[in-house]
Structure 1
């Protein structure tokens, strides 16, 4: 589906995907309480500028924080298949590749891009930002859009349930089958909200500081299953924890599919410039090409109703 004009505030809706296999990441630790209630935003709720832009590079020249430099944020660790080898500077991995392609269309060569580390759960807090935009599988939601601005969507994803193959959770065929099990997800994510609002488990939900901690808890039998976006689930089960499998996938309980957007400080003049770049990338097939390169189809993953 092609992006409409920038002023229409579109969200690119693409098929969800998995990965091209790559090196695995190490496991972290710690837990934290969840914070925001996530409901997918409509196009009019992304909070970005409605001004139409036809030349992204000319627009961006005076819209960045530091002249001649584009500062991009993401979390650490930076997970596969979104980034490769926990290094966002390589241009490898879907989000790293998207970020550098956006940068190029904004008029910034790779050596003019600077990366900073911003934890996922603090990226959408209100107030000044130390970056021009953040790319980190951040779902566009009305609540977040009250605090920050978002670009048009660059990817849409389903949620996936991951369990060890010998755990009863691996045999679930519906969301109802999961209600009596111990479930967990990363704090501040739509995966956590999906557990709370759609699965509504009987037991208290386990909340983890990052996906590595959630994976470790599953390996330690502290939870029966964890929930993550589908591409991450494919990488986890194929490259990191082969003794785990994807029980199934499900869509967020809303009118629109969950959409990832680039995140900006509220009122950023760069939003329209980036939207114009994303519109070009959708129209000329670049987004589809990057998705094909770094993410694969999800044929064979059952739908959990």
Structure 2
């Protein structure tokens, strides 16, 4: 829900090879002198981190020897599940218990980076503050932050750890609840949390005739739906299941949107230019290869991924 790329060294080599092979000369032709390649000034090749560089004792952390993880508060299920008694200050979900989708991903990622529960600490950081430019109080941040080119200008965004779809929630007795096409959504009034890819979906995909409403928090948007200020709420699909199961008694998931070109995925947020970023990407890659991310997704989100897909 909570919603960039340089030229790689491989692409430069491929382009150079293609240029050399086009219009091939005859075997008897004298070789043509090639100009000395000029390195690109746009993006330097990124080298894979060495194991030693990613050892806990070698990482540049906010607190030496401790991985500081940020999350928004309230921490919503199914991303963060509650404990029997949540520790202060956490509301709804408890990021510290390793339960819920992002709670489990964070715990697995911390372990892959070499940190145990007693060398990991959690802090509250609002979603909007996490994605704004400037230094952070956390080493990594997980709260449904979707990758976008714009955000990647302000913060580092890791490789994706979950492919997500956006969806519409309405009240069961609303005419909106019967809509099955994107074109049919245009006449209704929608709302979403400010600064999210959910709001971008309203603007870019639905393009409604009524101006969309922006809210500081998702809770405020939910209240607007319950009070009839908006006809539909746009959120990511797992959040929609929580909204209809817990927050809006007579709510219904109207449908989900087809995946945009290139897809949409959640990324870990880090300081812009963080030396930790390649280590996090390497750890995510290992968790994917081992099937750990898939297992976590099945455990926490398998029953929260099915909804009708809007037709054009």
Match of 2:220 among 208, 213, 219: 213
Write the mapping of 1:225-236 to structure 2, written as runs, cut at 5 A. Answer: 225-236=232-243
Task: Tell which has more relative contact order, 1 or 2 (C-alpha 8 A, sep 6+).
Answer: 1
State which structure, 1 or 2, has the greater radius of gyration over its C-alpha atoms.
2
The 1:89–1:83 alpha-carbon spacing in structure 2 relative to 1, beyond 3 Å, is same
Matched residue, 1:51: 47
Deviations 1:104-163 (A, max 9, x none): 111111111111111111211111111101111101111111111111100010100000
Matched residue, 2:283: 277
Matched residue, 1:292: 298
1:169 aligns with 2:166: no
The 1:56–1:214 alpha-carbon spacing in structure 2 relative to 1, beyond 3 Å, is farther
Conservation of the 8 A alpha-carbon contact between 2:96 and 2:103: yes
Matched position secondary structure for 2:150: helix
Match of 2:263 among 238, 246, 257: 257
Conservation of the 8 A alpha-carbon contact between 2:182 and 2:310: no
Matched residue, 1:301: 308
Consecutive unaligned residues of structure 1, counting only runs of 5 or more, are 1-15, 17-35
Write the mapping of 1:77-92 to structure 2, written as runs, cut at 5 A. Answer: 77-85=74-82, 86-92=93-99
Conservation of the 8 A alpha-carbon contact between 2:225 and 2:233: yes
Conservation of the 8 A alpha-carbon contact between 1:49 and 1:272: no
Matched residue, 2:272: 266
Q: Give the structure-2-normalised TM-score.
A: 0.80
Conservation of the 8 A alpha-carbon contact between 2:147 and 2:157: yes
The number of equivalent residue pairs is 266
Q: CA RMSD in A?
A: 2.4
Deviations 1:154-205 (A, max 9, x none): 0010100000110011011111111111100011000001101111111111
Matched position secondary structure for 1:295: helix
Match of 1:114 among 107, 111, 121: 121
Conservation of the 8 A alpha-carbon contact between 1:215 and 1:226: yes
Consecutive unaligned residues of structure 2, counting only runs of 5 or more, are 9-42, 83-92
- How far does residue 296 in structure 1 lie from its aligned partner after superposition? 1.3
Conservation of the 8 A alpha-carbon contact between 1:65 and 1:132: yes
- How far does residue 43 in structure 1 lie from its aligned partner after superposition? 8.3
Conservation of the 8 A alpha-carbon contact between 1:75 and 1:119: yes
Deviations 1:23-73 (A, max 9, x none): xxxxxxxxxxxxx9x7xx45879x999331353884443222211100011
Q: 2-side partners of 1:125 and 1:184: how far apart?
A: 22
Q: Give the structure-1-normalised TM-score.
A: 0.81
- How far does residue 304 in structure 1 lie from its aligned partner after superposition? 3.8
Matched position secondary structure for 1:292: helix
Matched residue, 2:163: 156
The 1:77–1:57 alpha-carbon spacing in structure 2 relative to 1, beyond 3 Å, is farther
Conservation of the 8 A alpha-carbon contact between 2:213 and 2:230: yes
Runs of 4+ in 1 over 4 A off after TM superposition: 41-45
Matched residue, 2:88: none
The 1:185–1:82 alpha-carbon spacing in structure 2 relative to 1, beyond 3 Å, is same
